[in-house]
Each structure stands twice: as C-alpha cells, then as structure tokens.
C-alpha cells in the first residue's frame, strides 16, 4: 500500500516562516524546516477565532486511521485569501501540506490544500511574502 504520508525534510527557502499567519501565539511548536503531505478525508473544518482548524482523517498502515489537526490563521485573514466557512466540508478528499509539530504528534500548521475540485489554496502567508 502506498504510504499516504510523505515526509520530506527540506530546507525551506520559501518565505514561509515562524511568523506566517502568527498572531496571538508563536508557531514555534511547528517545525518550519519540514513539510509533510497528508492524503485524507476531512472530518471537520473549524472556522473559528482565534485560529481555524482542519481535522483530517489519514489512513495509515493496515486499518489504522489517524486524525490530524491542522492549524490555520484566523477567519479574517483566510477570507481575504478566498476562503469561506464551507470551503471544506466533511467527507472531502484532500491533500494537505503542513509544517508538522516538533514533538511528532499528529498536528501541524497549514501550508496549502488541494481541494476535491483540484484547486489548490494557500493560507495567510501573504503577510510575510517578500
């Protein structure tokens, strides 16, 4: 079975940083040097202040399924990037790129998502774009 989780330790040359989308708290718990690609099914899209979250169910080896928590910026910033409260819906099959938690837990900060339509959407990183 193809491993649904592709890990790549990359030197991030992008202007995506610890400050990306950061506001009321630091994103230092996420490893900005790494990106992980998750292939899974949306369980819940939490359009919430202070931060929005994507809960995505990711199948692993055998029958094991892991629920990943993907932290985004707040609704205001996302809305300006074209996001809506129902951009993601329960059951959507998605591919999500994240910066993973440093402690190895099933969570990370959002980088981008490929929607069922094939459209790719980014987050709120425009704030630090050069």
Partner 1 sequence: MYKSLVATFAGTALTVLASAAASAHGGEAGPVKQTASKPSGRPPAKSREKEGLPDWSGTWKVKGSMALISTENDRIFQRGLRDKAPFKPEWRALYEDEAARAEDQGNMQSAHPLVDSNTVYCHAGMPRLVATPFDYNFVPTRDLTFIIVGGPGGEPRFIYTDGRSFPAEDEMWPKFWGWSIGKWQGDTLVTETRGVKPGLWLDPTPMKLSDQAIVYERIRRLDAKTMEDRVRIVDPVAFTAPWEFVRHYEQIPAGEWADEHEICGGPEDRNPVVNGRVTVVLPKQPDGGAASPP
What does the binding site for partner 1 look like in residue numbers (CB under 8 A)?
5, 13, 15, 17-19, 21-30, 32, 46, 48-51, 53, 55, 57, 60, 64-67, 69, 71, 73-77, 79-80, 101-107, 124, 127-128, 130
Rounded CA separation 86/54 (Å):
12
Task: Compare residues 103 and 118 and give the one whose CB is closer to partner 1.
Answer: 103
Our CB check for partner 1 shows the closer of 29 and 114 to be 29
Nearest Cα neighbor of 26 from 123, 102, 126 is: 102
Which residue's CB is nearer to partner 1, number 25 or number 84? 25
Q: What DSSP element (H or E) covers 111?
A: strand 107-114
We find the least distance from the C-beta atom of residue 82 to partner 1, in angstroms, to be 12
For residues 107 and 90, give the distance between their C-alpha atoms in angstroms, rounded to a whole number. 18
Query: For residue 47, what are its two tokens?
Result: 């359009």
């Amino acid at each position: 079975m193809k491993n649904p989780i592709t890990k790549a330790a990359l030197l991030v040359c992008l202007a995506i940083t610890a400050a990306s989308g950061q506001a009321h708290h630091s994103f230092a718990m996420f490893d900005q040097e790494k990106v992980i690609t998750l292939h899974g099914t949306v369980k819940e899209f939490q359009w919430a202040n202070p931060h929005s979250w994507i809960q995505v169910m990711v199948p692993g080896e055998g029958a094991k399924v892991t629920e990943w928590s993907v932290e985004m910026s707040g609704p205001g910033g996302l809305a300006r990037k074209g996001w809506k409260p129902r951009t993601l819906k329960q059951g959507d099959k998605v591919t999500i790129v994240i910066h993973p938690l440093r402690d190895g837990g099933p969570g990370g900060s959002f980088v981008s998502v490929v929607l069922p339509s094939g459209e790719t959407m980014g987050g709120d990183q425009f704030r630090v774009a050069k």
